[in-house]
Amino acid sequence: MKTIRRLESEVRSYSRSFPVLFEKAKDAFLFDADGNRYIDFFAGAGTLNYGHNNDHMKKKLIEYLETDGIVHGLDMATVAKEELLLKMESIVFKPRNLDYKIQFTGPTGTNAVEAGLKLARMVKKRSNVISFTNGYHGLTMGSMSVTANAYYRDEAFINRSDVSFLPYDGYLGKDVNTAQYMRRFLEDNSSGVDIPSAVILETVQGEGGIRVASDEWLREVESICREFDILLMVDDIQVGNGRTGHFFSFERSGIKPDIVTVSKSFSGYGLPMSLVLFRRELDIWKAGQHTGTFRGNNLAFVSASVALDYWKDDRFSKDIFRKGTILSDRLHAICARYPQLNAEVRGRGFIYGMAVDPPEIAREISMECFKNKLIMELAGARNNVIKFLAPLIIPDEVLMEGLDILDASIGSVLKNR
């Protein structure tokens, strides 16, 4: 760690939270340079849904490299890209009755958000975009403008005049329908909120503290978008790719977004790739109008094609929901055991958070878990939400072992306060 502290910028974050030198990783485990084993409830911030060094993907990647397959291809046509596109069509789009075009933006999620916002503004010829409280969409200038978290925005000195922030579902309390609140702003031309080109949202706010939008709210927001000729853009970068149990997080609600951004676990192996999916008629791009040097990461195409095999039938989805029930039940039991935490369990599928009060306890619990070889991160505007993002492939016994460590760590923290 001395080398890291001496040479890496102060902007580093996760190496501060988990200050050891990691060397290897496999499935739901990380191993440090001294051989210590850690259970991973972090999964690369949601990038490793299929675990570390997934055997199926690793085998295909090695085979591909040994045949001198194209690795860097810009946006040229390659065999690896063709295979991925055909699998997306047959495994993902057709069964869900979606007719999307695919734009490869690479290499990370914020690039997809930037491209999606740019396209929405071009299509509707309006500058304004509506985003929501506690939302997180990335840290480049355009995506940061629709990110609500003040920690990331305070010193960015960006132009925020083309974004209107409105309350997310539940922000004003359980009895306030914030979709109707949005409707009122849009139908009143003196509200100060211009009709936007797009509404961007996460169906489950990850960095925002695992805040789950109800299906009813999502359907109403979609209806409002249709009524006012606004594009609905869903940021599925963290909570897509099976994290909520379905391939897309919006499937359960029945909505069909106009634009969807995808990244993180889409490549399956942790390789950089991001893409924008959008309705066919929105494809008004001119050739080369939006580019990126690493939008043709063919290794990511290869591993993503293997990852899509998990979705050929509903067995993987059912197993995610089953594990999610185990996780939810255990978290509620832990909260009941420690009422002094004033804890609230939030989530669905296999993404959950435990909000605790006061906030500093969350940091102490996370540190104690790390000391006991369990890796978990925090979320929420006050960093008071312990976040559960274990790989979707985690075995039941490893999941329970990690939850046992959490339980014991909470008990230790509270005993010593």
Same domain, 44 and 84: no
Same domain, 228 and 273: yes
What element of type H or E holds 310?
none
What element of type H or E holds 195?
none
Same domain, 400 and 322: yes
- The alpha carbon dihedral of 311, 313, 319, 325 has a sign of positive
pLDDT attached to residue 154: 62
Q: How far apart are the C-alpha atoms of 76 and 343, rounded to whole Å?
A: 51
Question: Can you give the residue range of the structural domain that contains 269?
Answer: 58-311
* Tens of pLDDT, residues 62-119: 999 999 999 999 999 999 999 999 999 999 999 999 999 999 999 999 999 999 999 9
Residues counted in the chain? 417
Q: How far apart are the C-alpha atoms of 330 and 324, rounded to whole Å?
A: 10
Same domain, 74 and 216: yes
* Tens of pLDDT, residues 246-275: 999 999 999 999 999 999 999 999 999 999
Same domain, 299 and 212: yes
Considering 243, 276, 311, which residue would you say is the last residue of a domain?
311
Q: Are strands 259-262 and 211-212 parallel, antiparallel or unpaired?
A: unpaired
Extract the tokens encoding 8. Answer: 């890496």
Same domain, 303 and 323: no
Same domain, 76 and 48: no
* Tens of pLDDT, residues 341-384: 999 999 999 999 999 999 999 999 999 999 999 999 999 999 99
Domain count for the chain, please give it.
Answer: 2
What is the pLDDT confidence band of residue 144, given thresholds at 50, 70 and 90?
confident
Considering 253, 281, 311, which residue would you say is the last residue of a domain?
311
What is the pLDDT confidence band of residue 417, given thresholds at 50, 70 and 90?
confident
For residue 226, the domain's CATH number is: 3.40.640.10
Same domain, 116 and 240: yes
- Is the pTM for the entire model greater than 0.75? yes
Same domain, 325 and 396: yes
Q: For the chain, how far is it from start to end, CA to CA, in angstroms? A: 29
Same domain, 318 and 307: no
Q: How far apart are the C-alpha atoms of 371 and 364, rounded to whole Å?
A: 11
Q: Of 84, 87, 83, which is closest to residue 95 (Cα–Cα)?
A: 87
Are the C-beta atoms of residues 302 and 69 closer than 8 Å to each other?
yes
For residue 391, the domain's CATH number is: 3.90.1150.10
- Please enumerate, as own/partner, the contacts of 177-185 that have beta carbons within 8 Å and a separation of 24 or more: 177/217, 177/220, 178/217, 179/217, 179/220, 179/221, 179/224, 180/220, 182/130, 182/221, 182/224, 183/224
Same domain, 137 and 194: yes
- DSSP secondary structure string for all residues of 209-257: TSEEPPHHHHHHHHHHHHHTT-EEEEE-TTTTTTTTSSSSTTGGGT---
27: region left, alpha or beta (phi > 0 left; psi from -120 to 50 alpha): left
Residue 160 confidence (pLDDT) above 90: no
pLDDT attached to residue 372: 98
Considering 283, 311, 339, which residue would you say is the last residue of a domain?
311
Are the C-beta atoms of residues 369 and 406 closer than 8 Å to each other?
yes
Same domain, 119 and 11: no
